[in-house]
Chain A
Amino acid sequence: MTFRRYLVLAAVTLCASIGDSLLSRGMKQLGSISLHHPTDLILAVLNPSVAVGILLLLGFFASYMTALSWADLTYVLPATSLGYVLLTLIAKFYLHEAVTISRWIGVLLISAGVGFVTRGPALTRQPENAQPDGATYGTASAGKRP
């Protein structure tokens, strides 16, 4: 894992959590959207929070795909779950919401999970990975390591 790759994982985490928060804030500013006026949903992208939220979620998807191109799914998913922790910290210190003790325990469990997975290797070595087209990916035994 290089520094640049850790930056990609950080981008996955930050874009997802900040993007979701901005979408949520924007949609609350707009109020309830009625099924009788579906055009309101299209016009919602004109709200600055919704627009920036969508851009960040596009950034999330691009960085998530990039991470999956060089790391295992079972590495990327737990490693980027720090977003849940980040959302709790934003709720506590920025939105001044009350955070219960069980939520803090949840934050601890997730942080421990992230610590566990990021101390291990990011990718299961398989000979097919070396091929650019990789059409036969997944036929190697799972136990192989570099």
Chain B
Amino acid sequence: MKQAYAWGAIAAIVLSSTTGDVLLSLAMKQVGDVGALWRQSGLWTVLARVLRNPNFLLGVLAMTTAFYSLLFGLSWGDVSLIAPASASLTFVTNAVAAKIFLHERVDRRRWMAALLVAGGVVLLAA
């Protein structure tokens, strides 16, 4: 039963952190190149534009949910399962979500990178 809770927590972490990453990426694409904007209009304009973006705020909310899911997960399962499993799966789900929702061109090179990093993260925890 504890194992089921741990995998439930892993699913919650992966789902919320993928949602968060996609929303934050979307928000920053809407804000535009931060370096250019800073040089053009100053730091306060950059900060105001980022903090007023609804996707940024929702992204931070999703990341906060991911963090608390991790804390709950760690109270139910081993850190050696929860941390690498969620980190590794997030690389793969992010590639899928970025292709579907952000319309990024996830070619063979990027799939290979996501899978290699996901596999590497699992081995680091082994």
Contact = CB atoms under 8 A, between A and B. Distances in A.
Nearest to A72: B104
Contacts of B115: 113
Contacts of A6: none
Given A69-B34, A138-B101, A113 B120 contact: yes
A135 to B, nearest CB: 7
Interface residues of A, number: 49
B109 interface: yes
A100 to B, nearest CB: 7
Given A78-B117, A117-B109, A142-B103, A106 B123 contact: yes
A73 B94 contact: yes
B34 A137 contact: no
Given A110-B116, A120-B109, A74 B94 contact: yes
The interface residues of chain B, by DSSP majority, are classed as: helix
Interface in B53-85: none
Contacts of A73: 21-22, 25, 94, 98, 102, 104
A29 interface: no
Contacts, number: 145
A47 interface: no
B91 A77 contact: yes
B57 to A, nearest CB: 13
A114 B117 contact: yes
A144 B94 CA distance: 20
A33 interface: no
Contact of B103 (A110, A133, A138): A138
A74 B106 contact: yes
Interface string A116-146: 1101100010100100111101111111010
A68 B94 CA distance: 14
Interface in B19-39: 21-22, 24-26, 28-35
A133 B53 CA distance: 10
B112 A113 contact: yes
Given A84-B121, A103-B123, A78 B102 contact: no
